Structure 1
Amino acid sequence: MAESGIIANLWKIPEKRAEMHRPMLHRRLKGAIARRDSKARPSPLDNLALLAFGEKPNLLAPLPPRDPGPETTFYPVWLCLRENPDGLTADELQKLLAMREYGGNSVRGAIDNLRAVNGYRQPILNEDGRFRLLQDHEWQLPETQT
Protein backbone atom coordinates (compact mmCIF):
# COMPACT_ATOMS: atom_id res chain seq x y z
CA MET A 1 0.00 0.00 0.00
CA ALA A 2 2.85 2.39 0.82
CA GLU A 3 4.38 1.83 -2.63
CA SER A 4 1.14 2.76 -4.41
CA GLY A 5 0.98 5.95 -2.32
CA ILE A 6 4.52 6.88 -3.37
CA ILE A 7 3.68 6.29 -7.03
CA ALA A 8 0.46 8.29 -6.71
CA ASN A 9 2.48 11.18 -5.24
CA LEU A 10 5.04 10.93 -8.07
CA TRP A 11 2.24 11.23 -10.62
CA LYS A 12 1.42 14.65 -9.14
CA ILE A 13 4.84 15.98 -10.22
CA PRO A 14 4.90 16.57 -14.01
CA GLU A 15 8.67 16.01 -14.24
CA LYS A 16 8.45 12.64 -12.47
CA ARG A 17 5.43 11.64 -14.52
CA ALA A 18 7.35 12.47 -17.68
CA GLU A 19 10.34 10.39 -16.57
CA MET A 20 8.09 7.35 -16.09
CA HIS A 21 6.87 7.71 -19.69
CA ARG A 22 10.28 8.52 -21.22
CA PRO A 23 10.53 5.61 -23.69
CA MET A 24 7.03 6.15 -25.04
CA LEU A 25 7.57 9.88 -25.52
CA HIS A 26 10.81 9.82 -27.49
CA ARG A 27 9.09 9.72 -30.88
CA ARG A 28 6.96 12.76 -29.94
CA LEU A 29 9.92 14.94 -28.98
CA LYS A 30 10.79 16.42 -32.39
CA GLY A 31 7.25 17.67 -33.01
CA ALA A 32 6.97 19.00 -29.44
CA ILE A 33 10.19 21.01 -29.84
CA ALA A 34 9.02 22.37 -33.19
CA ARG A 35 5.67 23.49 -31.76
CA ARG A 36 7.32 25.09 -28.72
CA ASP A 37 9.97 26.91 -30.76
CA SER A 38 7.43 28.20 -33.28
CA LYS A 39 5.24 29.43 -30.40
CA ALA A 40 2.42 27.07 -31.37
CA ARG A 41 0.13 25.60 -28.75
CA PRO A 42 1.24 22.13 -27.65
CA SER A 43 -0.63 18.89 -28.11
CA PRO A 44 -1.57 17.10 -24.87
CA LEU A 45 1.58 14.92 -24.81
CA ASP A 46 4.09 17.61 -25.83
CA ASN A 47 5.08 18.78 -22.36
CA LEU A 48 5.46 15.25 -21.04
CA ALA A 49 7.87 14.58 -23.93
CA LEU A 50 9.76 17.84 -23.43
CA LEU A 51 10.17 17.33 -19.68
CA ALA A 52 11.20 13.69 -20.09
CA PHE A 53 14.17 14.77 -22.20
CA GLY A 54 15.23 17.79 -20.14
CA GLU A 55 13.72 20.37 -22.47
CA LYS A 56 11.89 23.51 -21.44
CA PRO A 57 8.11 23.03 -21.48
CA ASN A 58 5.77 24.85 -23.81
CA LEU A 59 3.92 27.19 -21.45
CA LEU A 60 1.08 27.94 -23.84
CA ALA A 61 -2.23 26.29 -23.00
CA PRO A 62 -2.36 22.91 -24.76
CA LEU A 63 -4.77 22.27 -27.58
CA PRO A 64 -7.43 20.17 -25.87
CA PRO A 65 -8.14 16.63 -26.98
CA ARG A 66 -11.23 16.35 -29.15
CA ASP A 67 -13.57 13.52 -28.34
CA PRO A 68 -14.54 11.51 -31.41
CA GLY A 69 -18.25 11.40 -32.05
CA PRO A 70 -20.20 8.13 -32.09
CA GLU A 71 -20.34 8.37 -35.89
CA THR A 72 -16.56 8.00 -36.19
CA THR A 73 -14.85 4.68 -36.76
CA PHE A 74 -12.56 5.30 -33.76
CA TYR A 75 -15.31 5.90 -31.20
CA PRO A 76 -15.60 2.31 -29.86
CA VAL A 77 -11.82 2.11 -29.33
CA TRP A 78 -11.78 5.50 -27.56
CA LEU A 79 -14.78 4.51 -25.41
CA CYS A 80 -13.11 1.25 -24.35
CA LEU A 81 -9.97 3.15 -23.34
CA ARG A 82 -12.02 5.71 -21.38
CA GLU A 83 -13.83 2.93 -19.54
CA ASN A 84 -10.59 1.08 -18.69
CA PRO A 85 -8.26 3.54 -16.92
CA ASP A 86 -5.59 0.85 -16.41
CA GLY A 87 -5.37 0.45 -20.18
CA LEU A 88 -5.91 -2.41 -22.59
CA THR A 89 -3.69 -4.34 -24.98
CA ALA A 90 -4.47 -4.36 -28.70
CA ASP A 91 -5.63 -7.96 -28.34
CA GLU A 92 -7.93 -7.08 -25.44
CA LEU A 93 -9.40 -4.22 -27.46
CA GLN A 94 -9.98 -6.49 -30.45
CA LYS A 95 -11.71 -9.08 -28.23
CA LEU A 96 -13.85 -6.45 -26.49
CA LEU A 97 -14.88 -5.02 -29.84
CA ALA A 98 -15.24 -8.48 -31.44
CA MET A 99 -13.24 -7.51 -34.49
CA ARG A 100 -10.14 -8.42 -36.43
CA GLU A 101 -10.03 -5.12 -38.27
CA TYR A 102 -11.87 -1.95 -37.54
CA GLY A 103 -13.05 0.24 -40.38
CA GLY A 104 -10.17 -0.93 -42.56
CA ASN A 105 -7.69 -0.16 -39.80
CA SER A 106 -6.31 -2.31 -37.06
CA VAL A 107 -6.85 -1.26 -33.46
CA ARG A 108 -3.36 0.24 -33.56
CA GLY A 109 -4.35 2.27 -36.60
CA ALA A 110 -7.42 3.57 -34.79
CA ILE A 111 -5.21 4.55 -31.82
CA ASP A 112 -2.78 6.34 -34.14
CA ASN A 113 -5.70 8.30 -35.59
CA LEU A 114 -6.96 9.17 -32.11
CA ARG A 115 -3.48 10.42 -31.14
CA ALA A 116 -2.86 12.48 -34.29
CA VAL A 117 -1.79 16.05 -33.52
CA ASN A 118 -3.96 17.45 -36.31
CA GLY A 119 -6.89 15.23 -35.40
CA TYR A 120 -8.32 14.21 -32.04
CA ARG A 121 -5.08 14.72 -30.04
CA GLN A 122 -6.03 12.04 -27.52
CA PRO A 123 -3.28 11.54 -24.89
CA ILE A 124 -2.88 7.78 -25.33
CA LEU A 125 0.33 6.09 -24.25
CA ASN A 126 1.52 2.55 -24.82
CA GLU A 127 2.74 1.36 -21.44
CA ASP A 128 4.36 -2.06 -21.74
CA GLY A 129 1.93 -3.11 -24.45
CA ARG A 130 -1.13 -1.57 -22.77
CA PHE A 131 -2.74 1.45 -24.37
CA ARG A 132 -3.90 3.93 -21.76
CA LEU A 133 -5.85 7.16 -22.17
CA LEU A 134 -4.31 9.66 -19.77
CA GLN A 135 -6.54 11.76 -17.54
CA ASP A 136 -6.23 15.55 -17.74
CA HIS A 137 -4.19 15.84 -14.53
CA GLU A 138 -1.62 13.43 -15.96
CA TRP A 139 -0.67 15.55 -18.97
CA GLN A 140 -1.46 19.15 -18.05
CA LEU A 141 1.09 21.40 -16.41
CA PRO A 142 -0.30 23.03 -13.25
CA GLU A 143 -0.02 26.49 -14.90
CA THR A 144 -2.21 25.42 -17.81
CA GLN A 145 -4.86 23.36 -16.04
CA THR A 146 -8.36 24.78 -16.16
Structure 2
Amino acid sequence: MKKFCLVLLITFILVFSACQKKEKTLYDFKTDFVGDNSKVSQIINKQEYPENFQTSEIKILSEKEPYGLKVFCKNYKNLEKKDLFKNAVTTLSLIKNLDNLYYVDENEKEIFIYNRKEVEEKLEKENTSLEKISENKENLENFINN
Protein backbone atom coordinates (compact mmCIF):
# COMPACT_ATOMS: atom_id res chain seq x y z
CA MET A 1 0.00 0.00 0.00
CA LYS A 2 2.86 2.40 0.82
CA LYS A 3 4.45 1.73 -2.57
CA PHE A 4 1.13 2.37 -4.31
CA CYS A 5 0.68 5.70 -2.49
CA LEU A 6 4.24 6.72 -3.29
CA VAL A 7 3.80 5.86 -6.98
CA LEU A 8 0.49 7.74 -7.01
CA LEU A 9 2.07 10.78 -5.37
CA ILE A 10 5.01 10.82 -7.80
CA THR A 11 2.64 10.45 -10.75
CA PHE A 12 0.51 13.31 -9.49
CA ILE A 13 3.56 15.56 -9.08
CA LEU A 14 4.83 14.75 -12.57
CA VAL A 15 1.44 15.35 -14.19
CA PHE A 16 0.90 18.57 -12.24
CA SER A 17 4.32 19.98 -13.07
CA ALA A 18 3.92 19.12 -16.75
CA CYS A 19 0.60 20.96 -16.86
CA GLN A 20 1.92 24.20 -15.41
CA LYS A 21 2.35 26.99 -17.94
CA LYS A 22 5.74 28.49 -18.45
CA GLU A 23 6.02 32.07 -17.19
CA LYS A 24 5.94 34.37 -20.20
CA THR A 25 8.62 36.99 -20.59
CA LEU A 26 8.14 40.50 -21.87
CA TYR A 27 9.48 39.41 -25.26
CA ASP A 28 6.66 36.87 -25.60
CA PHE A 29 4.21 39.77 -25.91
CA LYS A 30 5.95 41.43 -28.86
CA THR A 31 3.36 42.56 -31.40
CA ASP A 32 3.12 44.38 -34.71
CA PHE A 33 0.01 46.29 -33.68
CA VAL A 34 -0.74 48.75 -30.88
CA GLY A 35 -4.37 47.62 -31.28
CA ASP A 36 -3.50 44.20 -29.82
CA ASN A 37 -4.94 45.13 -26.43
CA SER A 38 -4.00 41.99 -24.51
CA LYS A 39 -0.34 42.02 -25.58
CA VAL A 40 0.03 45.77 -25.20
CA SER A 41 -1.38 45.74 -21.67
CA GLN A 42 0.99 42.91 -20.73
CA ILE A 43 3.96 44.84 -22.12
CA ILE A 44 3.08 47.80 -19.92
CA ASN A 45 2.22 45.77 -16.82
CA LYS A 46 5.22 43.42 -16.86
CA GLN A 47 7.88 46.13 -16.97
CA GLU A 48 9.89 47.27 -13.98
CA TYR A 49 9.56 50.99 -13.38
CA PRO A 50 11.42 53.48 -11.19
CA GLU A 51 10.77 53.17 -7.47
CA ASN A 52 7.22 54.10 -6.36
CA PHE A 53 6.13 54.86 -9.95
CA GLN A 54 2.89 53.09 -10.81
CA THR A 55 0.93 52.50 -13.98
CA SER A 56 -2.79 51.88 -13.94
CA GLU A 57 -4.77 51.65 -17.14
CA ILE A 58 -3.91 52.21 -20.76
CA LYS A 59 -5.69 53.90 -23.63
CA ILE A 60 -4.89 52.74 -27.15
CA LEU A 61 -5.00 55.38 -29.88
CA SER A 62 -5.27 53.26 -33.02
CA GLU A 63 -8.04 54.88 -35.04
CA LYS A 64 -5.66 56.86 -37.24
CA GLU A 65 -1.95 57.37 -37.75
CA PRO A 66 0.26 58.23 -35.98
CA TYR A 67 -0.71 55.48 -33.55
CA GLY A 68 -0.33 56.16 -29.88
CA LEU A 69 -0.63 54.72 -26.42
CA LYS A 70 -1.53 56.55 -23.24
CA VAL A 71 -0.28 55.02 -20.01
CA PHE A 72 -2.00 56.40 -16.92
CA CYS A 73 0.36 56.73 -13.99
CA LYS A 74 0.76 57.71 -10.37
CA ASN A 75 3.70 58.74 -8.19
CA TYR A 76 5.59 60.50 -10.97
CA LYS A 77 6.26 63.84 -9.24
CA ASN A 78 9.99 63.24 -8.61
CA LEU A 79 10.71 61.71 -12.01
CA GLU A 80 12.40 63.22 -15.01
CA LYS A 81 11.79 62.15 -18.59
CA LYS A 82 15.13 60.29 -18.70
CA ASP A 83 13.95 58.07 -15.80
CA LEU A 84 11.38 56.39 -18.06
CA PHE A 85 13.52 56.27 -21.21
CA LYS A 86 14.36 52.57 -20.83
CA ASN A 87 10.66 51.77 -20.35
CA ALA A 88 9.75 53.83 -23.40
CA VAL A 89 12.38 52.07 -25.51
CA THR A 90 11.14 48.69 -24.30
CA THR A 91 7.54 49.57 -25.15
CA LEU A 92 8.35 51.07 -28.56
CA SER A 93 10.60 48.15 -29.48
CA LEU A 94 7.93 45.56 -28.63
CA ILE A 95 5.03 47.34 -30.38
CA LYS A 96 6.09 47.73 -33.99
CA ASN A 97 3.55 50.32 -35.19
CA LEU A 98 3.51 52.47 -32.04
CA ASP A 99 4.55 56.02 -32.91
CA ASN A 100 3.86 58.00 -29.74
CA LEU A 101 3.94 56.89 -26.12
CA TYR A 102 2.28 59.20 -23.61
CA TYR A 103 2.63 58.89 -19.86
CA VAL A 104 -0.35 60.79 -18.46
CA ASP A 105 -1.94 61.54 -15.10
CA GLU A 106 -5.47 60.52 -14.07
CA ASN A 107 -6.89 63.55 -15.98
CA GLU A 108 -4.99 62.58 -19.16
CA LYS A 109 -2.62 65.52 -18.71
CA GLU A 110 0.62 64.62 -20.45
CA ILE A 111 3.58 64.06 -18.14
CA PHE A 112 6.13 62.67 -20.61
CA ILE A 113 5.91 61.95 -24.34
CA TYR A 114 8.21 59.64 -26.29
CA ASN A 115 8.14 59.71 -30.07
CA ARG A 116 9.50 56.76 -32.09
CA LYS A 117 11.64 58.98 -34.31
CA GLU A 118 13.15 60.83 -31.33
CA VAL A 119 13.92 57.60 -29.52
CA GLU A 120 15.50 56.06 -32.64
CA GLU A 121 17.77 59.10 -32.98
CA LYS A 122 18.99 58.75 -29.38
CA LEU A 123 19.54 55.01 -29.80
CA GLU A 124 21.44 55.57 -33.03
CA LYS A 125 24.03 57.55 -31.04
CA GLU A 126 24.51 54.42 -28.92
CA ASN A 127 24.89 52.23 -32.04
CA THR A 128 21.61 50.42 -31.59
CA SER A 129 17.98 50.68 -32.68
CA LEU A 130 14.52 49.62 -31.64
CA GLU A 131 14.70 46.88 -34.27
CA LYS A 132 17.97 45.50 -32.90
CA ILE A 133 16.68 45.60 -29.33
CA SER A 134 13.54 43.66 -30.26
CA GLU A 135 15.32 41.28 -32.64
CA ASN A 136 15.37 38.52 -30.03
CA LYS A 137 14.79 37.85 -26.35
CA GLU A 138 18.49 38.06 -25.48
CA ASN A 139 18.91 41.53 -27.04
CA LEU A 140 15.86 42.82 -25.18
CA GLU A 141 17.03 41.42 -21.85
CA ASN A 142 20.54 42.83 -22.39
CA PHE A 143 19.10 46.27 -23.05
CA ILE A 144 16.81 46.15 -20.02
CA ASN A 145 19.55 44.91 -17.68
CA ASN A 146 22.23 47.41 -18.75
**What's the TM-score once normalised by structure 2's chain length?**
0.28
Name whichever structure is richer in strand by fraction: 2
- Larger Rg, first or second structure (1 or 2): 2
